[in-house]
Amino acid sequence: MTKPLTLEDYQAGQVILIDKPLNWTSFQVVNKVRWLIKQQFNIKKIKVGHAGTLDPLATGLLILCTGKFTKQIETYQAQHKEYTGTITLGATTPSYDLETEIDNTFDVSALTEQEILENTKQFTGEIDQKPPVFSALKKEGKRLYEYARAGESVEISTRKITISEFEITTIEMPEAHFRAACSKGTYIRSLAYDFGQALDNGGHLSALRRTKIGDFSVEDAISIEAFEKQISSQD
């Protein structure tokens, strides 16, 4: 049986792997874990941070660091990540995912499985990617999504990212299920949108799950509920 962690353990530093649920922000997960530790040990402060944001509509691996390990967060953020998900072809949205309503539709009846599979080749290696306008990146001190929600157009520069692996695992039109391994700074939403564009069609991200960060796997992660039970069983 694993020895219960003490307050000193959390302060010295722990890496907690959480399987982030749908519709939770990464910040909400951090807040919940921090609150649970504070409640358990009756303390006012404990450092907790996450190593790489997951959008609310994504699930999967979120690395949390406590105490002195929060200094290692940047190291984890820099590591390669792996995702599985679904690109829905034949429609685009302003946010490139399901956060916003469909704004354009396309006829997918002529798209062949071969075309879809061949299209993955141009999205591996070092590529120039334009981040979504619905993102937390800042331009002139303001987050991009603030411009987008205000209906203001803004010029977004491309940036170099690396996609080491990108494969379509199953096609169930109009859905193409995929697996991708990529560098820090890659927007899978942009990949979904660009993938549709390259097919002279449209596409948006309709499901996303982060499965790996470096050597860490979601298979070793626990739910927030499991963490709550784990920490409360230490009484």
**Of residues 59, 48, 111, the one with CA closest to residue 84:** 59
- SS3 state at 78: coil
pLDDT tens-digit series, residues 35-70: 999 999 999 999 999 998 898 999 999 999 999 999
pLDDT tens-digit series, residues 115-170: 999 999 999 999 999 988 776 666 666 676 676 666 667 777 889 999 999 999 99
Active-site choice (55, 97, 128, 220): 55
Question: Domains (ranges, CATH) in the chain?
Answer: 7-78+215-232 (3.30.2350.10), 81-213 (3.30.2350.10)
Rounded Cα gap, residues 1 and 163, in angstroms: 40
**Of residues 188, 163, 17, the one with CA closest to residue 80:** 163
| Contact by Cβ (8 Å): 79, 89 | no
Model pLDDT, residue 235: 56
Residue 55 among the catalytic residues? yes
Q: What distance separates the 2 farthest-apart alpha carbons in the chain?
A: 62
**Nearest 5°: CA angle at 114, between 112 and 120?**
115
Stated length of the chain: 235
Q: Which helix (H) or strand (E) covers residue 6, if one does?
A: none
Model pLDDT, residue 156: 77
Model pLDDT, residue 1: 43
pLDDT tens-digit series, residues 74-96: 999 999 999 999 999 999 999 99
